[in-house]
Amino acid sequence: MHIPDGYLGPATCAVMFAVMIPVWYFAFKRTGEKLGPKEVPMLAVLSAVSFLVMMFNWPVPDGTTAHMVGGTLIAIILGPWAAVIGVTVALVIQAFFFGDGGITALGANCFNMAFVLPFAGYYIYRVLEGRIGKIASSAIAAYIAMNIAAIFAATEFGVQPYIAPGYCPYGLNLSIPAMALAHLVTAGPVAAVVTATVVGYLEKSRPDLLALKKIAPGVTE
Amino acid sequence: MESWLKKTLIVIVILVAIVPLGILGTWNYGDAWGEWGEIQDPAHGINWAPQAYFGAPLPDYKVEGWDSMLMASVGYWISAIIGIALTMLVILGIVKAMEIAREVK
């Protein structure tokens, strides 16, 4: 889901950065105010885990690959604002050091994987948690959030043939089915299993770690 | 060190140890959809390459020229270790900077 340089036209790149600037501002502000002594090392190691799980590429039946992100897991444990910071840092390092995801596309990649994904995952989890339990809701949240993020990415590069010729040559008719397939059958299930395994382990062995302060909109304490 | 932190770091070490599976499992298989360097797709009449604007020290988590399965795995290990170390350092640096900013205020 890391959009490379050269796929998005200048207008799309600019809009995505413009959207992310206030998101980053609030994420830093809220995380800076709320992160306690226990949450700091938690965010550091979860961000490292996010970086690492993105290196595990899985085959997709159509001959491409996909990977999970870890954004829902961070959002469930520390809240979505903290996840914005954690995944953004991983994506910035991937872009600058490893050329994974373009630097001009960093706004778009952060929007999809560091903003849409953790916020979607967090709210799906919160809605389902009281009804079907933590394990099932974390699996469903991770699965759906992964797919929503993939559809956003597919839309961003799939609109380029219509608005910015010379950039991504594939239109929405090809980009959306391909990205949906990859994430419905491969990255989504992987994210669901990994997220639910960690949440299930924490629920059983360390419920205190699932009860850490959540850095989320509307959560005052 | 708290026990959960120790356990998480052990999990990270295990993940780093097996991280080459992330490339070996998809060796010569194909990139992620839409992450190609160039596209030759006569079926859709497309012959296109994206503009690359910037270089990176370890592009595609690879050391230049380390192309065999074994050497690519070593490069992937090196990339994983550098990547997680940088990620943790940047997060801790950001937290420190935010603490300083709060104290100044």
In a domain, B17, yes or no: no
Q: From A168, which residue of chain B is nearest by alpha-carbon distance?
A: B50
User: Region A186-191: what's the mean pLDDT?
Assistant: 98
User: Region A144-162: what's the mean pLDDT?
Assistant: 98
Domain total in chain B: 1
Q: In the predicted model, is pLDDT for residue A220 greater than 70?
A: no
* Residue A178 contacts B where some CB pair is shorter than 8 Å: yes
Q: B32–A96: do the CB atoms touch at under 8 Å?
A: no
Q: A98–B83: do the CB atoms touch at under 8 Å?
A: yes
What is the rounded CA–CA span in Å between residue A85 and residue A94?
A: 14
Q: In the predicted model, is pLDDT for residue B96 greater than 70?
A: yes
In a domain, B73, yes or no: yes
pLDDT digits (tens, 9 = 90+) for A105-132: 999 999 999 999 999 999 999 999 999 9
Q: Which residues of B touch A161 (CB under 8 A)?
A: none
Q: Which residues 46-105 in chain B show a CB within 8 A of chain A? A: 46, 48-61, 76, 79-80, 82-84, 86-88, 90-92, 94-95, 98-99, 101-102
pLDDT top residue among A34 and B47: B47
User: At B34, which amino acid appears?
Assistant: G
CB A145 within 8 A of CB A124: yes
User: Region B84-89: what's the mean pLDDT?
Assistant: 98
**A205 Cβ partners below 8 Å, 6+ apart?**
none
In a domain, B13, yes or no: no
Q: Which residues of A touch B90 (CB under 8 A)?
A: 89, 92-93
Q: In the predicted model, is pLDDT for residue A37 greater than 70?
A: yes
Report the alpha-carbon angle A95-A97-A100, nearest 5. 35
**pTM value surpassing 0.80:** yes
Question: B102 falls in which pLDDT band (50, 70, 90)?
Answer: confident
pLDDT at residue B90, as a whole number: 98
Query: How far from A58 is each of B31, B64, B97, CA to CA, in Å?
Result: 10, 23, 37
pLDDT digits (tens, 9 = 90+) for A62-90: 999 999 999 999 999 999 999 999 999 99
pLDDT at residue B24, as a whole number: 97
Report the alpha-carbon angle A15-A106-A157, nearest 5. 65
B102: containing domain = 57-105
The CATH number of the domain covering residues in A10-210: 1.10.1760.20
In a domain, B52, yes or no: no
What is the rounded CA–CA span in Å between residue B55 and residue B58?
A: 9
Map out the domains of chain A as residue ranges.
10-210
In a domain, B90, yes or no: yes
In this complex, which of A38, A52, A99 lies closest to B56 when CB atoms are compared? A99
Separation in Å, CA of B81 to nearest CA in chain A: 9
**Interface test mutation site (partner B, options A55, A60, A93, A197, max chain B beta carbons within 10 A):** A55
Q: What percent of chain A is modeled with pLDDT above 90?
A: 95
pLDDT at residue B75, as a whole number: 97
Question: B40 falls in which pLDDT band (50, 70, 90)?
Answer: very high
Element (H, E) at A65: strand A64-66
What is the rounded CA–CA span in Å between residue A114 and residue A105?
A: 13
Q: A99–B54: do the CB atoms touch at under 8 Å?
A: yes
* Nearest partner of A164 among A10, A13, A19, judged by Cα: A10
User: Region A174-186: what's the mean pLDDT?
Assistant: 97
Q: Which residues of B touch A50 (CB under 8 A)?
A: 87
How much is the ipTM here? 0.96
